[in-house]
Homo-oligomer: A and B are copies of this chain.
Amino acid sequence: MASYQAPLREIGFVLNDVLDIARLTQIPGFGEATPETLTGLIEEAAKLIEDKLAPLNSVSDQQGCKLQDGEVTVPDGFTEFYRIYREAGWIGISQKTEYGGAGLPYTLGKVIEELLCSANVAFALYPGLTQGCFEALEASASDEIKRIYLPRLATGEWSGTMCITEPQAGSDVGAARTRATPNGDGSYRIDGGKIFITSGEHRMADNIVHFVLARLPDSPPGVKGLSTFVVPKYLVNPDGTLGARNGVRVQSIEHKMGINGSVTCVLNFDNARGWIVGAPNQGIQNMFVMMNLARIMVGFQGLGQCELATQNAIRYARERKQGKAFNGKSEIIEHPDVRRMLLQMKATTEGARVLAYETAMYVDLARHHPDARVREAAQDWVDLNTPLVKAFCTDSAFELGSLAIQVYGGHGYIKEHGIEQIVRDSKILCLYEGTNGIQAMDLVRRKLMLHNGRLPNRFFDAVRTDLGRGPETLTAPLARALDALERTTRWVQDNYKSNPDDAAFGSCDYLRAFALTYLGWNWLRMVRAADARNDTALAHAKRATAHYFATRMLSQVPALLDNVRQDAAPLMALDAGHF
């Protein structure tokens, strides 16, 4: 079975030595979120998650969820762990104290998300969606709704969902047809069907709060005619106690490739009562508040799975003996091709962690920093990084899961080792909250264009400032990657309006090249930080892994970007019938 130990040394290194998380203490209200306090909390969460959640990973995959007579049964141990986890206050750890949260930094919440998602990504979706629902209501709901719902979501007493997708409306959200009809008493009658609803029905929480995208009568077609509603499983009395069952029922649950412990529902809204969240026809904006944070969260889910794949592959390769390597040793970690796979995994996971944590830290700065210019800059980084974190960390999770299987050989294909589960659990991360193709389009169509290209310029400037400081084996390929990225970015910005097909055709390669360049910067900063720490083992590992990254991964960026600056016309011209 796959095992899991939280990478506490590495987490501390990234937070403190690479990112200087202490600067969050300058934010009003975060004065006590010192590095020491954060470390203590992370260690506490790690212990709970390692001891009580990680052992459920394999069994929850085997058992899955069951639907009988409209009721969902979750895997053994989930209900008990959900109770322990929520009672310890982890669900609302980053939510505002006025709504029942612990008021600690968003960054801390995301670090714990990583731990949770290494241990059991299927379980993590229950508190994860609850946090997403909280954030959506906090941003757009009326004070009355906030007063009733938020404290109960913060404690996990109630759990949340996002009801967006319909059979004909997947990536094309604007095709949604679910109807919302005013009842005349301030409430709405909701009718329609939603699919792929994570945590759509279960009994671990007393109530389930559905955040629903629906269409008011006479609203315009497409995304501009969508509004958002809160639709509870049980109606809620003004004092917050529960009333009658609402008209939302699970119709069926999906049988999936992985995340079997997470229930995925087809929900039927039939004369359900809901209350509007935010203004009419502003649903897509309200949804995106939550969606953007959800995308960062999914990136952390990917990071958690990257870590799980990497640490298990390294452990196995240290113990497993086969033949003799050229250096005379028998452990497979000494075989060059196995070592290559391990370094690919390590370079990716540790580099991605800096990207993800830095993004989370910018969320805190963008929300709370007293200086408006700092907030603006931080928000630019969040906007730029969101598609990178979401797509790169999740593509990497799938890739690293596959590499972990290769390290295990035939044993990796057998379920009892728990390694193939990583591939199955990870693949959904590349699909939900916008497929990774959608992320690439978001980067190319929106993020490069915002504020006259200010977002990527911040990145180019920051990396260029750091280029003078570091070993040339790393700075030279980083400079080459950066030049190619900047040149390609200008090409995309110039061409996009006239030839949208070109930029769209290369968007996934562009996103990958951007993320690899970002990781090159991260590796430069990690090497510098490790050298400064006087820890020989850490410095050796960082230097060797950075060397791998520079010579085998970063070096691919210019060629990848050559791909992007190509004419798509000959490819778009092929008749669909001739494929």
Which A residues form the contact surface with B (CB < 8 A)? 165, 168, 170-172, 174-175, 196, 254-258, 314, 318, 321-323, 326-327, 331, 333-343, 346, 398, 402, 405-406, 409-416, 420, 423-424, 427-428, 430-432, 435-437, 440-441, 500-501, 504-505, 507-509, 537-538, 540-541, 543-545, 547-548, 551-552, 555-556, 558-560, 562-563, 566, 568, 570-579
Residues of B close to A435: CB separation below 8 A = 406, 409
Q: Looking at the assembled complex, report how far the CB atom of A418 sits from the nearest CB atom of chain B, in whole angstroms.
A: 11
Q: Across chains A and B, which 7 residue pairs bring their CB atoms closest together, nearest first?
A: A559-B559, A336-B504, A257-B420, A544-B574, A172-B322, A172-B323, A336-B505
**CB-based nearest B residue for A503:** B336
Contact A579 to B257, CB < 8 A, known contacts A339-B505, A500-B326, A555-B559: no
| Complex alpha-carbon distance, A437 and B255, angstroms | 33
B322 engages A170 (CB within 8 Å): yes
Q: Looking at the assembled complex, report how far the CB atom of A335 sits from the nearest CB atom of chain B, in whole angstroms.
A: 8
Residues of B close to A543: CB separation below 8 A = 570
B501 engages A256 (CB within 8 Å): no
| Complex alpha-carbon distance, A562 and B398, angstroms | 26
Residues of B close to A537: CB separation below 8 A = 575, 577-578
A406 engages B437 (CB within 8 Å): yes
| Contact residue among B168, B326, B428, B558 (Cβ-Cβ distance under 8 Å from A504) | B326
Name, among A170, A500, A543, the residue most crowded by chain B CB atoms within 10 Å (CB to CB).
A170
| Complex alpha-carbon distance, A326 and B556, angstroms | 30
A436 engages B406 (CB within 8 Å): yes
Residues of B close to A327: CB separation below 8 A = 501, 572
Would you list 26 pairs from A and B whose C-beta atoms are within 8 A, ordered by A residue?
A165-B410, A168-B321, A171-B322, A196-B410, A257-B415, A257-B423, A318-B579, A336-B507, A337-B441, A339-B572, A340-B505, A340-B571, A343-B571, A405-B430, A405-B431, A406-B436, A409-B431, A410-B431, A412-B431, A537-B578, A548-B571, A552-B566, A555-B562, A556-B559, A558-B559, A559-B559
Q: Looking at the assembled complex, report how far the CB atom of A105 sits from the nearest CB atom of chain B, in whole angstroms.
A: 30
Residues of B close to A566: CB separation below 8 A = 551-552
A333 engages B505 (CB within 8 Å): no
Residues of B close to A412: CB separation below 8 A = 431
Residues of B close to A541: CB separation below 8 A = 574, 578-579
Name, among A326, A331, A334, A509, the residue most crowded by chain B CB atoms within 10 Å (CB to CB).
A326
| Contact residue among B171, B321, B398, B410 (Cβ-Cβ distance under 8 Å from A323) | B171
Name, among A338, A560, A576, the residue most crowded by chain B CB atoms within 10 Å (CB to CB).
A576
**CB-based nearest B residue for A570:** B547
B171 engages A413 (CB within 8 Å): no
| Complex alpha-carbon distance, A377 and B3, angstroms | 51
B406 engages A331 (CB within 8 Å): no
**CB-based nearest B residue for A327:** B572
B257 engages A424 (CB within 8 Å): yes
| Complex alpha-carbon distance, A292 and B366, angstroms | 60
Residues of B close to A548: CB separation below 8 A = 571
Name, among A258, A507, A540, A572, the residue most crowded by chain B CB atoms within 10 Å (CB to CB).
A572
A413 engages B437 (CB within 8 Å): no
Residues of B close to A409: CB separation below 8 A = 170-171, 431, 435
A547 engages B571 (CB within 8 Å): yes
